[in-house]
Chains A and B, each alone.
Chain A
Amino acid sequence: MMDREESIQIKDRPHKNLHEDKPPEEHVSRSSALSDEQRLKVLSPGMLVIKRFLRNRLAIIGLIIIAFMFVFSFIGGLVSPYDESQVFKYIGTMSKEYASVTYNEEYRYVMADGRDYNAAAHAKFILARNTGKTTFTHQDTEYVIVEEGDAFYRIVSSQPIADITSFRGIVAINALDGEALTESLRASATEAILSGATQFTSEGVLYTVTQNGREYVLGRTGDAAIESKNILEPAVAGTTIGYSFAYEAEKAVRAENVSSFTVDGQTFEIEEEENLSVIYAVTDGGKTPYAIFSRMAIQPISQDVFLSLAFKKQLIESVAAGEAGFVQADQAGAEIEYSLSRLNNVYTVKSDTLTHLISIHEQPSWTHWLGTDKHGMDVMTRLMYGGRISLTIGFIVVLLESAIGVILGGLAGYFGKWVDMLIMRIVDVFNCIPFLPLLIILGSIMDTLEIDPQLRIYYLMFILGIMSWPGIARMVRGQILSLREQEFMIAAEATGLSVGRRIFKHLVPNVVPQLIVFATMGLGSVILYESTLSFLGLGVKFPLASWGNIISGVTTAYEMTNFWFVWIPAGMLILLTVLGFNFVGDGLRDAFDPKMKR
């Protein structure tokens, strides 16, 4: 074309510029130089394809998108200062549960020293009390319930001290080994036997008589425990409350007009308030708080916290007044706000405490360009690492499916006959397998087997590759079938070329274009498939990131509407990548199409 234009110009020139001393022969010779050898540089088919491809604007856009994705995923991950699953935290105040308060409706027991009155015995007590019995047996020991007041029982157990035989009014008492019986006890026992009583008191001690045919067993009782609905707790840390103190304190509080009592030589004073009583130990120098007595069960949430007397007093006051919260100074003197909330009969006390908090759903900022997700991880960084996985899976799956597809499709196409028949029936079978249900089953199997997330990715690649080769095999087979009958293949056979050369120099180069187009288009769909599977929770598992599972992290409408920065970027990346691969695939298809003009 250029040559022709030039020649026209040159032809025109002699008329205009005759005065120039250039010989006209030169022009003639130049214009006649339009020979075959001087044509435009001839391009090979490969170069033609590249040229046509580069002329396709959409394909270039696709190529740029894909290049960007690669840079973003593979270099971005290296540049990013954060790790894939690095969790960001900050120190902040958080309302934490501090204590709970209940109005106690259950019996609690305090065991006497040296006795083994346990929870099982306690349960039997409850049973006996509810059925109106006064005795119950636990581990071969008989216990007697002695009512001391309203919802206040003393449990005594009896130990045999003598065998008694009664015959026609004659009572014979035989003391067991090591027991000495006083005369008054013997008299009281005889009297009780004759009157048929089962209990009697002698010298302030309760005795029991158990009949066993004509024989009787005389038992002496001792305190085993007290059962009460009231709660007696130490007022200061480190104090332990003994049985006798508990018994005496309970009796003293219950009794009217008693403001002090003595246990083991120590005098205690009671200060009664509306809902609780404080028991002080009286010493020479004055009195110190010793225990708190109330129907309220106050328990700290954390076991190592000891609730102070002042806190408990304040708390019970607030609960009784129905307040929503109160302020109480802690041990260091700092005022801490507590809030009270009620659920059924349980009041929960919450306080604001300073703790390490995870930066969940942080808005985009210079430190986190796309904010953080619900696990407090940097969204941008996760997108980069997710892109790596998505693209790697895409490429490896396509490579795998192409390898299987080309080999099997090539065999089927080249050899035909029963080989073709067999392979194509396998392809049919694979096409009949419902893809998604199978993957869902495999996904749940992998969940059950608790397969390592990293390993799971390899399995995913393998499964996707195994499942998607039939398309390529079919395409390659079709191509080879049609190429095999082309005259250039027959000519190659006629020239006596070897089978290998015929396949690799004549067949394969003619299949490669379609294969490249197919594979490029396939990349997009594999990435989409991986996203779908990850979204359904079957593919790449947290904490590893993939674009699909970043989106699936957003599960509620609230998250979706408020935290757009978590899912929109991942969605955009999937969209752009698939679009990019499709653009490039379309561009390649057009470029490889020989019917396209150059």
Chain B
Amino acid sequence: MIDDKRMKEDRFERRPSEVSLTEASLLEVKNLKTYFPISSGLFSKVKGYVKAVDDVSFSIQRGTTMGLVGESGCGKTTIGKTILRLTEITSGSVTFDGIDIHALDRRALRALRPRIQIIFQDPYSSLSPRMPVGEIIGEAVREKRLVAPEKFDDYITGIMKDCGLQEYHKDRYPHEFSGGQRQRICIARALALNPEFIVCDEPVSALDVSIQAQIINLLKALQAKYGLTYLFISHDLSVVEHISDTVGVMYLGNLVEYADKASIFDNPLHPYTMALFSAIPVPDPDVKTNRIILEGSIPSPANPPEGCKFHTRCSYCMEICKLEVPQMQTIGAGHQVACHLYKDGRRIG
């Protein structure tokens, strides 16, 4: 599937920054806050805010994949969209390759767009139903003149082959494809712009398991080939475990734990992470899993609890949890957690 010869010929020159900054993190998110105003009444008076993302910081190294997990509605997708500036930021910053995305003007933003792409959860609604597939994939490439017009067809064909699509699919319309094929089209559309960073917003959750594996493997292969960096948003922990290098766990707009894959899966520190990971099914009927059942449901992000947002459902809840917001602290080698159970690098509770 991966054709090195074509890669050398057709891919355009890598930007110098990519070469020089191999060690630096490609994406840096600092104190990101995205609030949505709740307005009501005759004059749309703002009554409050839905704190979809509330003070989140992390960074992603070039060529790695960060998995972002959490319950529905915890703000994963909002982070993805805010990174692409599809949603405006409330405060904080998103720095991509040294560029503050939210400080850019319209023109500069449009110029930057091809470098960061997104793959959506629903492959059915993310393709325009009245456009042939070749046009969907190549539209932005043509508009931005990323390749010479005479090479255009070959370029698109190459991208489609990379994504496991055939050349004759070009003239077909999205409704003629299966879910997995459509997701391949979405990946091809993102890939055609030669991005460095792709936000994968639950790209496999709408697909059945066998197709999920194909897509995940495709993403991994493409990452290996093009040196892509992924932010992989999912609520499926096994998928995240498979693809990620680092994993962030979100709860109600906050990042509660962030570490590399091995340490977080082997040694989850935050009570929420523990509960979450205990829910991973084990494909062996004889193994008894010690599942932690969380009481209650996720509180409303419009009116989150005081102190630690998780304290209403936490079995380790202490007095301090109800009063003080826990700060991110590093335990061991780069294992970050935001919980009052830990202090000065060790567990106290």
Measured CB to CB, the residues of A under 8 A from B are: 36-37, 42, 44-45, 486-488, 490-498, 501, 505-506, 509-510, 594
Cross-chain contact B126 with A488 (CB below 8 angstroms): yes
B333 within 8 A of A: no
State the CA gap A560–B199 with chains docked (Å).
Answer: 75
Contact of B189 among A42, A490, A495 (CB under 8 A): A495
CA distance A426 to B178 in the complex (A): 44
Choose the segment among B137-145, B295-303, B341-349 that binds chain A (4+ C-beta atoms closer than 8 Å).
B137-145
Residues of A near B189 (CB, < 8 A) are 491, 495
| Distance to closest chain B CB from A575 (angstroms) | 36
* Interface pair A491/B186, CB less than 8 Å apart: yes
Contact B111 A496 (CB under 8 A): yes
Minimum CB distance partner of A485 in chain B: B125
Complex partner residue of A495 from B111, B125, B193, CB under 8 angstroms: B193
Q: Does B127 contact A (CB under 8 A)?
A: yes
CB distance from B128 to the nearest CB of A (A): 4
Closest to B130 in A: A509
Please tell me if the beta carbons of B86 and A493 are within 8 angstroms of each other in the complex: yes
- Contact digits for B154-185, partner A, Cβ 8 Å, 1 yes 0 no: 00000000000010100111011000000000
CB distance from B186 to the nearest CB of A (A): 7
The docked-state distance in angstroms from the alpha carbon of A449 to that of B168 is: 67
The reply on B92 being an interface residue by CB < 8 A is: no
Residue of B nearest to A43 (CB): B173
A487/B122 in contact, CB under 8 A: yes
Q: A486 contacts which chain B residues (CB < 8 A)?
A: 125-126
Identify whether the interface residues of A are mostly helix, strand, loop, or mixed: helix
Given the complex, which residues of B lie within 8 Å of A493, measured CB to CB? Answer: 86
List residues of B (107-132) whose CB comes within 8 Å of A's CBs.
109-114, 116-118, 120-122, 125-132
| Cβ contact within 8 Å between B173 and A45 | yes
Within 8 A of A (CB), among B198-228: none
| Residue among B120, B131, B171 making CB contact with A487, cutoff 8 Å | B120
Chain A residues with Cβ below 8 Å from B252 are none
Taking CB atoms, residues of chain B closer than 8 Å to A497 are 139-140, 143
- Count contacts on B: residues with CB < 8 A to the other chain: 37
> When chains A and B are docked, how far (Å) is the Cα of A491 from the Cα of B201?
12
Q: Tell me the complex Cα distance, A44–B131, Å.
A: 9
Question: Residues of B contacting A488 with CB < 8 Å?
Answer: 125-128
In the bound complex, CA of A141 to CA of B190 (Å)? 118
User: Which one, A42, A496, A498, A510, contacts B114 given CB within 8 A?
Assistant: A496
Closest to A417 in B: B44
Closest CB-CB distance, A331 to chain B, in whole Å? 88
Q: List, in ascending order, chain A residues with CB within 8 A of B129's CB.
A: 45, 510, 594
Known: A44-B173, A491-B126, A495-B193. 16 other contacts (CB 8 A): A37-B166, A42-B173, A45-B129, A486-B126, A490-B81, A491-B118, A491-B189, A492-B139, A494-B86, A494-B116, A494-B118, A496-B109, A496-B140, A497-B139, A498-B110, A509-B128
Bound-state Cα–Cα, A486 to B127, Å: 9
B84: Cβ under 8 A from any A Cβ: yes
Q: Could you tell me the distance in whole angstroms from the C-beta of A89 to the nearest C-beta in chain B?
A: 61
- A residues in contact with B110, CB < 8 Å: 496, 498
Flag if A36 contacts B120 (CB, 8 Å): no
Report the separation of the CA atoms of residues A577 and B129 in the bound assembly, to the nearest whole angstrom: 33
Quick check: A494 and B171 within 8 Å, CB to CB?
Answer: no
Nearest to B140 among chain A residues (CB) is A495
Q: Are A45 and B126 in contact (CB under 8 A)?
A: no
CA A505 – CA B114 in complex, angstroms?
19
**Residues in A neighbouring B84, C-beta threshold 8 A:** 494
A180–B182 Cα gap in the complex (Å)? 137
- 11 A/B residue pairs, CB under 8 Å, sorted by A: A45-B175, A488-B125, A492-B128, A495-B114, A496-B193, A497-B139, A497-B143, A498-B143, A506-B131, A509-B131, A594-B175
Is A42 a contact partner of B176 (Cβ separation < 8 A)?
A: yes
Closest B residue by C-beta to A508: B130
Instruction: Determine whether the beta carbon of B125 is less than 8 Å from that of A487.
Output: yes
CA distance A501 to B110 in the complex (A): 13
6 smallest beta-carbon distances between A and B, as pairs? A496-B113, A487-B126, A495-B140, A509-B130, A488-B128, A496-B110
Inter-chain CA distance A488–B129, complex, in Å, is 9
B120 cross-chain contacts in A, Cβ below 8 A: 487, 490-491
Minimum CB–CB distance from A418 to chain B (whole Å) comes to 10
Contacting residues, chain B, for A495 (C-beta < 8 A): 113-114, 117, 139-140, 189, 193
Near A by CB (< 8 A), chain B positions 70-129 give: 81, 84, 86, 109-114, 116-118, 120-122, 125-129
A42 to B170, CA, bound (A): 11
CA gap between A492 and B172 in the complex, in Å: 19
CA–CA, A45 and B171, complex, Å: 11
Cβ contacts under 8 Å, B176 to chain A: 42
In the complex, what residues of B have CB within 8 A of residue A501's CB? 139, 143
B314 to chain A, nearest CB (A): 35
Task: Give the Cβ gap from A286 to chain B, nearest Cβ, in Å.
Answer: 109
Q: How far is the CB of A282 from chain B (nearest CB, A)?
A: 110
Question: Given the interface contacts A486-B125, A490-B120, A510-B129, does A36 sit within 8 Å of B171 by beta carbon?
Answer: no
Chain A residues with Cβ below 8 Å from B112 are: 496
Q: Which of chain B's residues has its CB closest to A418's CB?
A: B44
What residue in chain A is nearest B168 (Cβ atoms)?
A: A37
Instruction: Report how far A162 CA is from B127 CA in the complex, Å.
Output: 125
Q: What CA separation (Å) do A510 and B144 show in the bound complex? A: 24
